[in-house]
Structure 1
Amino acid sequence: MTPQGPILRTLPSEEIEAWTQQTAAALSSFSITEPPRVTGVSLSIPLDDATQANVTAEERRRTSTAQTPRPRTSGDTRPRVPVRRDSLKRREALLRGNEGSRRRQRWENDRLLNNPYAQPPLPTDWEVRPTYPVHAVPYYLAPLWDARFAAENATRTAKARVSTRTEGQTDADTVGKIPKELRQKLKKAKGAKTLLQTLEKEVRVFIRDWEANRVTSTRDEFGDIDSEEEEIVFVGRSGDMSDMRDPRVSEELERAMLVLNSPADDLSASFGRWLVHSIGSYYGLRTWSVTVGDPARREAYVGIKDVPVKTSTSRQPDTLPRPLWGLV
C-alpha cells in the first residue's frame, strides 16, 4: 500500500469537494483547437551579392575547397557541389559593357540615352493603325468617281480600237508596205514563202484583170456611139425577153475572188487565211472569210474596195507594187 492511501482517507470531505470544484472550473476554461496547416513552403534563392556578408569564413573555405576541381576516381560516387548561379546584376553589367566600349555605346544608343531630342512614346504610338494613308471620302461622292472612271475607261477602250496608223495616214499610204508581223513570222517559217507566192500570184492576176476591165468599160462609156451600130430591142413588161445581166450583180462578182477554200476544222488553214489578209492589206484590197456549206468550209475572199486605192483612169494594169514574196 502506497503512503497516499492513508492520506486520502484522512482528507475531510469538504476539501475533496472544494478541490473537485476548482478542477472542474480550470478544465472548463480550456479549449482544444486543431493546429493550423501550412499551405506552402517559402523558398528564397539569393541572386545578389548582398548575401555574401552573412557567410562565415569557415563556409567560404569549405565552398572554395568544394569548387576546386579534384581528380575523380572510378569508385568516387560522391555528388558534385553545384556552382553558384550568376546574379542579375552581373548579367546586366555584361550587357552594358565597360564604360567607353563599343558595347556600352550600342547599349546607350538602343535606349536613346544621352540624347536631348529623344521623346518618350505616347499612348497613341501603341495603337494598331494601317501602314498606308487612309483618305476619308464621303459616300455621296462615290457616283461622281464612278462616272469619271467610266469615262476614262471608255476613252482608253476607244483608243485601243483605233488602228495603229499615224495621224493623217490614209489607206493609200499603207499600200506597198510590208506588215511587220508578216515579216517576223516568215523569218521563222521558211516553208510558208512558197504558199505566200502561190496566193499572191492569184491576187495579182485578179487585180490586173479587174483594172483592165475597168479601163475598157470606162473607154466604152465615154466613147462615141455609132448610130449605125445601134440596135433596138423590145422588152416585155415582165422582162423575160431580156438577156442582159443585172449590172449590180455583175459588178459584185467582178469585184471579189475566192482565194482559199479549206475545211472549217482544219487548224493549219488558218495560217493560209492570215496570209490572204496580209496580202490584201499590202495591195489595198478588202478581205473577209465566211463559213459555208455542209460540211462547213471556210472561204477566204479578196475584193476591190468601194473607193479603189491608188487607182485612176490613167493607171496601167502593169503598175503594181513589187511582189510581196520577193521582199520578205
Structure 2
Amino acid sequence: MTIRATVIGVGHYLPDRIVENAEFEETLETTDEWIKSRSGIERRHFAAEGQTTSDLATRAARAALADAGLDANDIDAIVLATSTADLTFPSAATIVQSELGMTGGFAFDVQAVCAGFVYALTNANALILSGQAKRVLVIGAETFSKLMDWTDRGTCVLFGDGAGAVVLEGQDGQGTKEDRGILAADLNSDGRYKDILYVDGGVSTNDTGHLRMQGKEVFRHAVEKLASTATTAMGKIDMTADEIDWIVPHQANIRIINGTAKKLGLPRDKVIVTVQDHGNTSAASIPLALSVGKQRGQIKPGDMIVTEAIGGGLAWGAVVLRW
C-alpha cells in the first residue's frame, strides 16, 4: 500500500476591485489592445487599501475547507506560498492559522515567487508521505499590486492580486499512476538568472522596492523550462502527453501558456486558462485556476492534471496529480 497526498478540497478568493485594461490608458502610454495582444490579460483584481495577503489567504482557505467539509482544527499543517507576506515576520501562514482558529499543528511560508505553489505542494506532499501530517492546507496568495512601479507599462499591467487553496489528505493508494493524489514532482532553480526577474529592494536594503523584469529574457527561458519540467515529472511515472486531461499552468502570459502546451503536444482545449480575468497572480495563479476549473465543471474526479510554473530565481517546477 502507498500513501498518496490527495486533493479533497479547493477554493479561492479574489478582491472586490476589478481593474480593466482601459483604466491604465489614463496614466500610461498603453491601450487595452496592446495589453491583450502581448499578454492575453483583459482585467485583474487589486486588493483594497489595508487588505493584506493573509486576508486573501484566509478567505481562500475557508473556501477550501468548506469544499472538503472540514474544520480548521482537522488540519495538521499550513504551507503558504507567497512573495508578498504581510510582515517580515511572523509568516503569513501563522497569521492565517490564527485567523482560522487553528490551535494545533504548524504553519510556515514558502517563497519561490511564481513557482511558489508548486514548491509548496511538493513540500506538503513530503510532509504527508513522511508521516509528519495527515492533512495539509496548501495556499498560494499574493498582493503584487503593492510591488508595482506604476510608471512601468511593461510590468504594472501584468499582475493582479488573489489567493487559492487546496486541502491535501493522505490516502491509501496502490502505488500506480491510477491512484488519486500527487504522483510525481520536479523542482529546479538557477540563481544565475536572478537579475531578469526580481524586486529591487528588501529588508537588508531598507527599501521595499519594485518588481523589475526583462520580459524578453523571461519569455525565452519560460517555454523551454516549463515544457522540460513537465516532461521530467511525467517521465517519473512513465506518463505520456495523451494521458493528460488538463494542464493547469501558471497564468503569466497567454503566449507562454500556448507555447508550452504546443511544445508538450497538447491542444488548447486541454489547458485551463484564467489569465484573461486575473492577470499574473504569482503563487496564487495555479490554485486559483484549479478552483475556477472545478467551478466551471472542467476538472472532475479522476482527471489527470499537470501543473507547471516558473518565477524569479529563476525557480521552476511541475507536479503531476490525479484529481
Same fold (TM over 0.5): no
User: Relative to total residues, which structure has the larger helix share, 1 or 2?
Assistant: 1
What's the TM-score once normalised by structure 2's chain length?
0.21
Q: TM-score, normalised on structure 1?
A: 0.21
Higher relative contact order (CA 8 A, sep 6+): 2
**Higher alpha-carbon Rg:** 1
